[in-house]
Structure 1
């Protein structure tokens, strides 16, 4: 039982530990770029913490052309942005491909606060803070040791003074003297004077030669030149000497013993782990040790609990992979120190060290096609803060032969024969991701099937078919497929209107798509606009200008072998008149009636009416058709309809259309002249009379595929003569009245 309880407790502890890590590690990759053969850049959106984004550089020191180094402002006493330092440090054989801000620094003076050295030269002595609420309360540094391994560990920076056959530990180098300390100032101090307060003793030493640098393993010996006790005057640091600044009873006693002309030596050293290191940069706190969360500061302190931007350096267990990580924290987002440590653990790092964060958090990368380092993250203040030292991911690979081409096309898709497009080379990289300066004279264009011609970076489709364009640049090549067609699969016209007053304008645009319904590539001049009917003109841009008289016609667009059209009506601005008492000027079909009556095709009644709702008889239909078509009524053959004698008033008209097979009789040899003409019969008569053809996808709900006049009704619809009723019916068996028959005749004659 006890074993089971322990097992449950253990599982709960595992869950409690793992859940937050899983939450922090839940992230979406926004960017993933190989900056060089040994440096990978990724940008994440983290869903488990309140962050804007996380930027991550993974640096592989096993790669022969990859290293990590420090970067400093042009003037060590000043500050500079991360990207400015990195870009300036980048040169042939030493390309900075990524960088991150690093050292904590004095905000007013600009110098680093903690130990910083390179190739044993001590660039900054630094200070160690004695409170666990401070970031840097233990001597911990990141660096690359003499054997080329990355390291994050404690260090022992040792400064010893030898005087009167005794050895004393000096507290620091080239920094402000605090209570009960002894500090040595060399000519490498950022100021020419010590600037120490008057509550101490300052001893000035002269050496035989100038001190041009301060480094591990160095021993400098000098003779006392002057002693200043309780002086408010600035003590200058000699170029060929140094100054020891003492404070406190112990050091006061030593200073009191010193005499002008006595000899004192000071030595500088560091523990063997860091001796001869390529560089080392002190920071804090440590965040991860041996793959586990290990924060060397009080996590309850305000600095640790603050949710803000963060920066860190981390290494793998084999010390061959270095990780530079930044967390953006604008708009009160980011991570606290504990969350940041958890996140780094979730990445699988072995050790991690906190770097200067907050407004200093900055990461820069080298984008493809450029050697400049540009901002990759979003600083909390909206712009980069100038800093005192950075860490750089460097590719030492020399620029070599072109390896890859990145290009973009101004248009992508199926091309029309005769169309011209172009491409642009965005950048060319060698095998080490270094940019190659592009020379247009080295670009060679080819196509597999010779269906295109080239003019520089432009290409024109010559023939229909499939092809592949290939761009060669020395040893690099890039290609893309092309499909070329003689015409679009679909061509549609969009109009600003389908009717216009005389002398007014309408705008038409065409949309051409391929078989996949994607936009077809063509040159504007390939789209041809024409007008059918004497209604006006249309420009090459599809602007229609109506003529000065009313009428109907079509606007036609042609692209390659494909045509499309849209009907258009030009209306007169003159108010229409009417000669019939039962046709108002507001009648929607007054234009059609006036046209037919003006031509003498149809007449009204003696009482001055038109009677638009009267049904058309079969005899009247014969009369109207013969008039409009101008049929010869003299040379006719008797159709021998039993109910149409030669004395019938419309005998000749009925005979004329029967002779042309425009209309046929009914059963028993009769014509049924007084019978009402149905809409289906009308369709057949008009199709026969005007040789109409065509089909349409439009279906009428009351016209089945088996209907005797289905083909004629379809042809009439395809020709634009009829549209049916609004309810989707055609009403084939209903009689057609004088108004509708007039409309059909008008449309068919235009």
Structure 2
């Protein structure tokens, strides 16, 4: 892509980077591109791309590694069996030890969301064990010698009774017409089948089942037209329907049987399926948006291979103003622009997740923004693992490149130390030596910096032996604007609150400022405030104002002594409301004359339809474009809900003072079961981190049979 406006590249590690991640190459268009690149392990680089163009907004995360690099392994993982789900983060935890650690991972295959929840759609191989296999699927695979590939994987599995043979259609999959299915202990306790077939239980096998192996056993029992055979810990079940059942019908307890499992590709240690294939031998696969995967722009996860390197990639979506997501064709073209020769689409939407151990992290954390607002449990994942040993400290880095600070204010800069393999290591408090530019201020051995009285520029330097890092510092003696972070003060008589203020310069950058540098004024006789900015509510129930001043610049916040119910949103207009949905359709307007209302002139009329062809949890959201800031320390959040007897689930989310997203349950699952108006509320934990901001309220349904459509009202 030709950059016509501006390209900003931030290298967070000042060493020579040999990344082969190229710039975007679509059409020539005007864009703003911000890239942040850092090495996170041996031969492994993480890259965040924020791309704004006339095509849209895209937040892209990429990890690239050398599949044959020293100390690097690429593996797949799941929750320990074929069914069930767990998050990418949870699947990484067992791989983290003193000797090895996951440095990056992404979610893997699509999966069932019904009674077989968590069962991958395609073939999965974990450490050689065939967790799930289908007749044919496209996989990202890793061989025993560490080679990675993307290709079609075909199952060649046969059961043999005497001289008679019958093809095994799948391992640990749902049984269909005339199919013979092999079930292993990884599938669960039972086969989860109906009574329309025959199942034979084989015990005494050497497990787990792997490719290129012949398994011989003796029939422990034969179940004819009974539901769901139990799968023994030391054996398997062969389940047949139709012609396959006829093949099994000659067997009795004590008879011998054998089966073999193989694939068209040898020596596979790990495999995760996806669809569709995006790029094959350097060419975009045609008709991608007809591949049976949700079309249009959505969050995406993909994996690719180029010149001996593996590239993991996520594109966030469903986040207006942050990232639009990509269509499959856009995704393929973008990956082709990176020089990727083969690429595979993985599960996307709310499943899209990438974790990475960025510089300064002890372990991997989520680096993308999941569209559901939280990390979704998924079927399996692909991981990059570093076996590099912990070694001596080598790199020292300040967490920030620069700071702006007000005169006489104090700040302790955060820094971290890494070894030569980018493992974070701990050091003694006295090992880093701090110095500061002349006349800029003073710094203690602990790193506490106190700015001087005069404006000026300089730097703080931290040294670990011969390795040094600098933090640029600018001292201000005036500010352009102030912002009180306490949006509204609501206290009981005698209660205290620490006032928090941010200061900004002319460019909008934050200036670090001590509360003691603020001149405080309390108006209305509502209480007192000390020099450190601690406000104490008075004894009278009344309203007032708290004012913060620095020279001639000031800001204020309204305050109330005595807590009373506060209306946060009256649903009188749609100005701050947008409607979103997942596996559902939804619209909303303000109610009209004659329609249900509790307070004011209107309520929110919310029409939804969760009866779509997509499986998985359906939800329709009333989202607030600007999250509603809640004053004080509320004990509960509530509203009036006009039900239609749907027996669905009303929930919501808010952000707490630490930026953590929390879920509110206004009803239990299935508890939205009434007709007409009813007041619903969710309690806020007493130990919550305030202030909180309400993001959305929504109706959800995880059970396919209970998905509904209708009209409800909120007020």
Q: How does the TM-score come out when normalised to structure 2?
A: 0.57
Out of 61, 65, 70, the residue aligned to residue 64 of structure 1 is 70
Q: Is the 8 A contact 1:366 1:374 kept in 2?
A: yes
User: 2:192, 2:512 → 1: CA distance?
Assistant: 74
Q: Is the 8 A contact 2:405 2:511 kept in 1?
A: yes
Q: Residue 113 of structure 1 corresponds to which residue in structure 2?
A: 121
Match of 2:185, SS? coil
User: 1:359, 1:195 → 2: CA distance?
Assistant: 27
Out of 148, 151, 156, the residue aligned to residue 150 of structure 1 is 148
Q: Is the 8 A contact 1:50 1:335 kept in 2?
A: no
Out of 187, 197, 200, the residue aligned to residue 200 of structure 1 is 197
Q: Residue 34 of structure 2 corresponds to which residue in structure 1?
A: 29
Q: Does 1:289 align with 2:284?
A: no
- Residues 575-627 of structure 1: CA deviation (Å, up to 9, x unaligned): xxxxxxxxxxxxxxxxxxxxxxxxxxxxxxxxxxxxxxxxxxxxxxxxxxxxx
Q: Residue 231 of structure 2 corresponds to which residue in structure 1?
A: 237
Q: Is the 8 A contact 1:402 1:436 kept in 2?
A: no
Q: Residue 437 of structure 1 corresponds to which residue in structure 2?
A: 426
Q: Does 1:79 align with 2:85?
A: yes
Runs of 5+ unmatched residues, structure 1: 1-18, 129-137, 493-517, 528-539, 542-563, 565-750
Relative to structure 1, the CA distance from residue 440 to residue 160 in structure 2 (aligned partners, 3 Å threshold; closer, same or farther) is same
Match of 2:268, SS? coil
Relative to structure 1, the CA distance from residue 482 to residue 347 in structure 2 (aligned partners, 3 Å threshold; closer, same or farther) is closer
Tell me by how many angstroms 1:342 deviates: 2.2
Q: Residue 647 of structure 1 corresponds to which residue in structure 2?
A: none
Relative to structure 1, the CA distance from residue 176 to residue 450 in structure 2 (aligned partners, 3 Å threshold; closer, same or farther) is same
Q: Select between 151-160 and 70-79 the one with higher mean Cα deviation.
A: 70-79
Tell me by how many angstroms 1:57 deviates: 1.7
User: 1:170, 1:205 → 2: CA distance?
Assistant: 15
Q: Is the 8 A contact 2:404 2:474 kept in 1?
A: no
Q: Is the 8 A contact 2:202 2:218 kept in 1?
A: yes
Q: Residue 103 of structure 1 corresponds to which residue in structure 2?
A: 109
Q: Does 1:264 align with 2:264?
A: no
May I ask how many residue pairs the two structures share in their alignment?
470
Q: Residue 351 of structure 1 corresponds to which residue in structure 2?
A: 342
Tell me by how many angstroms 1:393 deviates: 2.5
Relative to structure 1, the CA distance from residue 180 to residue 88 in structure 2 (aligned partners, 3 Å threshold; closer, same or farther) is same
User: 1:242, 1:397 → 2: CA distance?
Assistant: 39
User: 2:353, 2:304 → 1: CA distance?
Assistant: 16
User: 2:473, 2:336 → 1: CA distance?
Assistant: 49
Match of 1:340, SS? helix
Relative to structure 1, the CA distance from residue 41 to residue 65 in structure 2 (aligned partners, 3 Å threshold; closer, same or farther) is farther
- Residues 28-47 of structure 1: CA deviation (Å, up to 9, x unaligned): 12433332242222223252
Q: Does 1:227 align with 2:222?
A: yes
Match of 1:432, SS? coil
Q: Residue 306 of structure 1 corresponds to which residue in structure 2?
A: 296
Q: Does 1:402 align with 2:394?
A: yes
After the TM superposition, which residues 462-541 of structure 1 pair with which residues of structure 2 at under 5 Å, given as runs? 470-474=461-465, 476-479=467-470
After the TM superposition, which residues 271-420 of structure 1 pair with which residues of structure 2 at under 5 Å, given as runs? 271=264, 273=265, 275-295=266-286, 299-300=289-290, 303=293, 305-316=295-306, 318-330=307-319, 333-400=324-391, 401-406=393-398, 412=404
User: 1:162, 1:263 → 2: CA distance?
Assistant: 9
- Residues 485-532 of structure 1: CA deviation (Å, up to 9, x unaligned): 9xx9x999xxxxxxxxxxxxxxxxxxxxxxxxx9999999999xxxxx
Relative to structure 1, the CA distance from residue 102 to residue 23 in structure 2 (aligned partners, 3 Å threshold; closer, same or farther) is farther
User: 1:199, 1:311 → 2: CA distance?
Assistant: 38
Q: Is the 8 A contact 1:49 1:335 kept in 2?
A: no
Q: Residue 660 of structure 1 corresponds to which residue in structure 2?
A: none
Q: Is the 8 A contact 2:402 2:473 kept in 1?
A: no
Relative to structure 1, the CA distance from residue 300 to residue 324 in structure 2 (aligned partners, 3 Å threshold; closer, same or farther) is closer
Q: Is the 8 A contact 1:149 1:320 kept in 2?
A: no
After the TM superposition, which residues 129-140 of structure 1 pair with which residues of structure 2 at under 5 Å, given as runs? 138-140=136-138
- Residues 285-323 of structure 1: CA deviation (Å, up to 9, x unaligned): 11111111115x77346635333222111111x333333
User: 1:119, 1:403 → 2: CA distance?
Assistant: 35
Match of 1:112, SS? coil
Q: Residue 95 of structure 2 corresponds to which residue in structure 1?
A: 89
Q: How does the TM-score come out when normalised to structure 1?
A: 0.54
Match of 1:257, SS? coil
Q: Does 1:122 align with 2:114?
A: no
Tell me by how many angstroms 1:101 deviates: 1.1
Q: Select between 337-346 and 324-333 the one with higher mean Cα deviation.
A: 324-333
Structure (1 or 2) with the larger CA radius of gyration: 1
Tell me by how many angstroms 1:367 deviates: 3.2
User: 2:333, 2:267 → 1: CA distance?
Assistant: 33
Whichever structure has more helix as a proportion of its residues is 1
Runs of 5+ unmatched residues, structure 2: 1-23, 481-508, 519-530, 533-550, 552-715
Tell me by how many angstroms 1:407 deviates: 5.1
Q: Is the 8 A contact 1:221 1:265 kept in 2?
A: yes
User: 1:368, 1:197 → 2: CA distance?
Assistant: 52
- Residues 686-720 of structure 1: CA deviation (Å, up to 9, x unaligned): xxxxxxxxxxxxxxxxxxxxxxxxxxxxxxxxxxx
Tell me by how many angstroms 1:65 deviates: 2.9
Q: Is the 8 A contact 1:142 1:153 kept in 2?
A: yes
User: 1:25, 1:524 → 2: CA distance?
Assistant: 43
Tell me by how many angstroms 1:265 deviates: 0.7
Q: Is the 8 A contact 1:326 1:362 kept in 2?
A: no
